[in-house]
Chain A
Amino acid sequence: QQQVKQSPQSLIVQKGGISIINCAYENTAFDYFPWYQQFPGKGPALLIAIRPDVSEKKEGRFTISFNKSAKQFSLHIMDSQPGDSATYFCAASRLSGGGADGLTFGKGTHLIIQP
């Protein structure tokens, strides 16, 4: 059972455009939603993360929008640049309560920014 669904699988955006990647989750116990960026030949690296007590978090050109009632969150990349071309993973985990859950990842989005 996939707990985090990510779309689209691949995305091509023109330089300067807005890239939007969407994720939906099922487990209402999730309370931490990070996005990871992965360049070819490298391990994923944390890009930006949000907790459900806010609806939006912005860091530079990257914004997470979070809709708790719809159980959805999305990554927006403004003024997309060729250097943003990478694979993006959304993820979710449970930071509160008992247990030691790991991150549950979406399947990834391969983003290409065309010059």
Chain B
Amino acid sequence: NAGVTQTPKFRVLKTGQSMTLLCAQDMNHEYMYWYRQDPGMGLRLIHYSVGEGTTAKGEVPDGYNVSRLKKQNFLLGLESAAPSQTSVYFCASSRPVGNLAEAFFGQGTRLTVV
């Protein structure tokens, strides 16, 4: 029972490089999310999607882009990485039942930008 799977788990980038983080869920959830986790700040929402082909900005979207071409996948892109994007990134998914739904999280991607 895979749940939410993120790849890669670790990555080191040089400033200015680009990369894509992949999130895949096998629970047929409509909603998917990308959060970043920084010390002392909890998790902050970057972008989210309420269905295939849709995306929306969250609390901290600058410097990131996303795509949801397939229902089970949600990609997070960094076009030109900056040291401020050093963080742990978590993908999550949930069912569309308003504000009652439990979110299921992946194990995270630890990204370091040098």
**A, B in one complex:** no
